[in-house]
C-alpha cells in the first residue's frame, strides 16, 4: 500500500467513525463555549475588563477542550485491537500516526477556530484581535493535538488516564499559551505580532516532525 493510500485510508476511517458519534465532536466544542461564557458571568460584563482577559480565557478554554477530546484519540482503537494491527503493519508508523492526529485536529481543532470569532465578539474583542485569535488558533491547535497525542499514547493503557493526562500535557502546552496570548494582546494594541506567530509556527513544525517519534514509541510501550 502506498503511503498516500494509507494516509487517506486512516484519515477517512477516523473521520467516518467520528461522524457516527457526533456527540464526541460536539461535546468539546460545547465545553469550549460554556467555559468562555462563564467568565463574563463570574467577572462582570465590563467590556474593557473582558477585552483585557479574553485572549487568556479563549486560549485556556481551547487547551482544556483539546485535552478533553484527547482521550478518544487512541482509546477505541486500543480497546478493539486495531491499534496493535496498525503497529504490526509493514508500513511506517509515522504515516498513520500523523493521519490520525490530523483527523483529530479536523474534528476538534477546526470547529474551535470556526466558532472563535463569535466568542471574540461576545468577549468585546476588537476586529484585529479577533483576527489574531483565529490565526493563533489555526497555528496553535495543531501543536496542541501533536503534543497531546504523546500524552494520550502514554496513558492509553491505564484506567485513570484523565488526571495523569492533564499532569503530563498541560506543562508542555504552556509555551503555546504564552506566545498565543501575547500575540493577541499585541494585536489588541495594534502592535505587530509576526514574531509570536513565527514562534508558534516553529513550534508547529517542531512538533509535527518530532512528536510522531515519541508517539510511536509510547504506543509501542502501551501495547507492549
- Asked whether 115 and 108 are in contact (CB, 8 A), the reply is no
Q: Which is nearer to other proteins, 5 or 221 (CB)?
A: 221
Place of cell 466544542: 29
Contacting other proteins (CB under 8 A), which of 1, 114, 167, 189? Answer: 167
Q: Which is nearer to other proteins, 38 or 167 (CB)?
A: 167
Sign, CA torsion 63/65/67/72: negative
Establish if 38 lies at the interface with other proteins (CB under 8 A).
Answer: no
Residue 72 CB neighbours (<10 A): 20
Q: Which is nearer to other proteins, 91 or 166 (CB)?
A: 166
Establish if 181 lies at the interface with other proteins (CB under 8 A).
Answer: no
HSE-up (13 A, CA, CB side) for residue 149: 30
Contacting other proteins (CB under 8 A), which of 172, 182, 201, 208? Answer: 172
- In whole angstroms, the minimum distance from the beta carbon of 121 to other proteins comes to 29
- In whole angstroms, the minimum distance from the beta carbon of 207 to other proteins comes to 10
Contacting other proteins (CB under 8 A), which of 37, 85, 158, 190? Answer: 158
CA distances from 12 to 5, 24, 29, 99 (A): 11, 16, 21, 9
Contacting other proteins (CB under 8 A), which of 137, 155, 187, 195? Answer: 155
Which of these segments, 104-112, 124-132, 135-143, 153-161, binds other proteins (CB under 8 A)? 153-161
Helix locations, the chain, DSSP H:
3-20, 22-43, 47-70, 72-80, 82-88, 93-122, 127-155, 161-188, 194-223
Contacting other proteins (CB under 8 A), which of 157, 162, 201, 208? Answer: 157
Per DSSP, the residues of 108-155 read HHHHHHHHHHHHHHHTT--HHHHHHHHHHHHHHHHHHHHHHHHHHHHH
Helical pair 127-155 and 161-188, crossing angle rounded to 10 deg = 160
Q: Which is nearer to other proteins, 109 or 148 (CB)?
A: 148
- In whole angstroms, the minimum distance from the beta carbon of 168 to other proteins comes to 4
Q: Which letter does DSSP use for residue 189 in this model?
A: T
- In whole angstroms, the minimum distance from the beta carbon of 217 to other proteins comes to 6
Contacting other proteins (CB under 8 A), which of 107, 112, 149, 154? Answer: 154
Please give the residue ranges that form the binding site for other proteins (CB under 8 A): 150-151, 154-155, 157-158, 160-161, 163-164, 167-168, 170-172, 174-175, 214, 217-218, 221-222, 224
Amino acid at each position: 500500500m502506498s503511503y498516500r493510500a494509507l494516509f487517506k485510508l486512516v484519515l477517512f476511517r477516523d473521520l467516518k467513525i467520528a461522524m457516527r458519534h457526533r456527540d464526541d465532536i460536539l461535546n468539546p466544542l460545547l465545553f469550549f463555549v460554556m467555559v468562555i461564557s462563564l467568565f463574563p458571568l463570574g467577572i462582570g460584563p465590563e467590556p474593557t475588563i473582558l477585552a483585557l482577559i479574553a485572549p487568556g480565557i479563549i486560549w485556556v478554554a481551547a487547551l482544556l477542550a483539546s485535552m478533553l477530546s484527547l482521550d478518544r484519540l487512541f482509546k477505541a482503537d486500543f480497546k478493539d485491537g486495531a491499534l496493535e494491527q496498525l503497529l504490526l503493519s509493514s508500513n511506517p508508523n509515522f504515516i498513520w500516526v500523523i493521519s490520525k492526529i490530523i483527523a483529530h485536529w479536523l474534528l476538534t481543532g477546526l470547529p474551535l477556530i470556526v466558532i472563535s470569532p463569535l466568542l471574540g465578539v461576545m468577549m468585546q474583542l476588537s476586529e484585529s484581535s479577533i483576527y489574531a485569535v483565529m490565526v493563533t488558533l489555526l497555528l496553535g491547535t495543531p501543536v496542541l493535538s501533536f503534543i497531546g497525542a504523546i500524552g494520550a499514547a502514554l496513558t492509553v493503557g491505564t484506567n485513570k488516564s484523565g488526571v495523569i493526562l492533564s499532569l503530563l500535557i498541560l506543562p508542555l502546552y504552556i509555551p503555546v499559551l504564552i506566545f498565543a496570548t501575547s500575540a493577541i494582546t499585541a494585536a489588541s494594541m495594534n502592535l505587530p505580532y509576526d514574531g509570536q506567530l513565527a514562534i508558534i509556527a516553529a513550534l508547529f513544525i517542531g512538533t509535527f516532525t518530532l512528536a510522531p517519534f515519541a508517539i510511536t514509541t509510547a504506543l509501542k510501550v502501551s501495547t507492549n
